[in-house]
Amino acid sequence: MSLVYFLFAQTLLFAIPLMIVALGGMFSERSGVVNLALEGIMIIGGFSGVFFMHYMQENDIMHGMPLLFLSLLIAGVVGLLFSLLHAFAAINLRADQTISGTALNMLAPAIGIFIAKAVQDGSQNVSFTNEFRITKVPVLGDIPVLGDLFFKNCYVTTFLAIAILLISAYFLLKTRTGLHIRACGENPQAADAAGISVYKTRYLGVILSGILGGMGGLIYIIPISTEFTCSVDGYGFLALAVLIFGNYSPYRIAGAAFFFGITKTLAYTYNSVPFLAALKLPDTVYKLIPYIATLILLAFTSKNSAAPKADGIPYDKSKR
């Protein structure tokens, strides 16, 4: 049973950031703006959060959960500001959204490396101390099965992500603003005729993707490393695959993220699984599992994709 607990905990570490970033992408795409800049937003958000942690810990100013929550806030705010560049290009300038997203993906690591080298005498790696893992949640950790799965050796970001999932689903599906976002992604002309500001609504969608993307970048880094090298290993692009596989729906995105989390877990922990270890296959085979699974699933599911009809199409009020 300990192997099951171990694999489940590892799966959560991979699935949680994927889910948060994909939910961010969902808001942008459902409002009608393709956001290929998720990779760059994760990098710039993760960099700002880690850089803040590094400064606070090195100068012994702040530690523990207050530092984690404040770092997440900073990562979200910086992700928001960075996403505004994409929003301005896509909404105001009506630029090609693929090109503007790609440009931001290239810009983000360059900014991070430049700042890190300028501040740290030429070193581009920003280190921090991981003091955020919770060994056991009091009382809840004693619950049979669930206590071992969720409340031992865990991170508070797991529970934060579940809350974000529930709030995102309610916001998008049950509120008036969520309805406006969906309307602008499906039929912006009709939304405009109904008195909805398409430009403001699309800005809101991109801003939400920036906040969640920036936070997702930091959440990805904390459990797996104690230094940031201005890379999130393609997780932003994988989040786009999760978004498509999840059919732009909050709960399906959560399921898709968990599936991809399992494939990533098997790719990195196959030596701990007796059956897989006995196969004695090369490391490369296991590390290819997440990407091969992504290609296969997208090939079979893309035909039934429920992408918003106006996704990626700049809105021109004069052509209504």
Q: What is residue 20's predicted lDDT score, i.e. its pLDDT?
A: 95
Identify the band that residue 311 occupies on the pLDDT scale cut at 50, 70 and 90: confident
Q: What is residue 164's predicted lDDT score, i.e. its pLDDT?
A: 95
Task: Select from 285, 239, 248, 238 the least CA-distant residue to 266.
Answer: 285
Segment 46-82, tens digit of pLDDT: 999 999 999 999 888 888 899 999 999 999 999 999 9
Determine phi and psi for 165, rounding to 5 degrees: -60, -50
Task: Please say whether the dihedral angle defined by the alpha carbons of residues 28, 29, 31 and 37, taken in this order, is positive or negative.
Answer: positive
* In the predicted structure, residue 273 carries a pLDDT above the cut 80: no
- Identify any residues that bridge with 127 across adjacent strands, giving them in sequence order: 227
Q: Which residue's entry shows tokens 């968990």?
A: 258
CA geometry: angle at 110 spanning 105 and 112, to 5°? 100
DSSP string, 51-90: HHHHHHHHTTS--HHHHHHHHHHHHHHHHHHHHHHHHIII
3-state secondary structure of 228: strand
Segment 199-256, tens digit of pLDDT: 999 999 999 999 999 999 999 999 888 888 888 888 888 899 889 888 899 999 999 9
Segment 77-132, tens digit of pLDDT: 999 999 999 999 999 888 888 899 999 999 999 999 999 988 888 888 888 888 88
Q: What's this model's pTM, rounded to 2 decimal places? A: 0.92
